[in-house]
Amino acid sequence: MRLVKYFKTLKMMFRSLSHIVDMEEVEDLELFYSKFRAASPNNTNSRTLDLGCGGIPRNPFKAGLLYGIDIRDSANPNIARSDLAQEGIPHGDASMDYITAFDFIEHVPRVVYLPQIRYSFIELMNEVYRVLTPGGLFLAQTPVYPFSASFTDPTHINPITSETFSQYFDDQRQWGRMYGFNGAFKIEDQVRHSTHLISVLRKV
């Protein structure tokens, strides 16, 4: 029985490895972002929110209004303070056209006890879905398995594979529903940039 489980685990590992190896690799990120900007040429009044932004939120889609969230206080009035492992996104329903997360998702725990069980990653994805406008885009850029960048940093506690978003948060399989995910995203694109996975999801 143990041997069967061992070989099943190996099979899953090799499948994830083959997915990321075969995935399209991009070098020019600006060119990659620009194709999504081309689909929304009038961004003057659009709003974007960067999760885990530090002192300077990123704006790859060139939205007109830029906001951020970080765990630390900021003098910038457009950067709100929130611990997204335990708290929600402090913005209203359908209030953002874009949400981005650069090297942030891997720091969000999958499960915490407060003392009740909370699936923090699932709840964060629920919040992203809630805050996005219909048709809005979520961009996640994160170290991806099997590259060591996924595990070397001791604060990386949420390893992501090439199949995480496309199996648990998509509008087809929706496996995340068993853990309380109540949204649905269309996977617009997934590419690899060096050791990172870049996923673009559209709220449906």
The total number of residues written for the chain in this structure = 204
Number of domains into which the chain is organized: 1
Question: Whole-angstrom Cα distance, residue 140 to residue 132?
Answer: 14
Pairing, β 132-143 against β 112-113: unpaired
71 sits in which H/E element: none
CATH code of the domain containing 196:
3.40.50.150
Give the chain's largest Cα–Cα span.
60
Splitting the chain (204 residues) into consecutive groups of 10 residues, what average pLDDT does each group show?
53 53 88 86 86 96 96 96 96 98 97 92 98 97 96 96 97 96 97 97 97
pTM tops 0.95: no
Q: Are 192 and 23 in contact (CB under 8 A)?
A: yes
Q: Record the tokens describing residue 111, joined without a space.
A: 């499960």
Identify the domain containing residue 146 by its residue range.
Answer: 2-203
Give the type of residue at 197. Answer: L
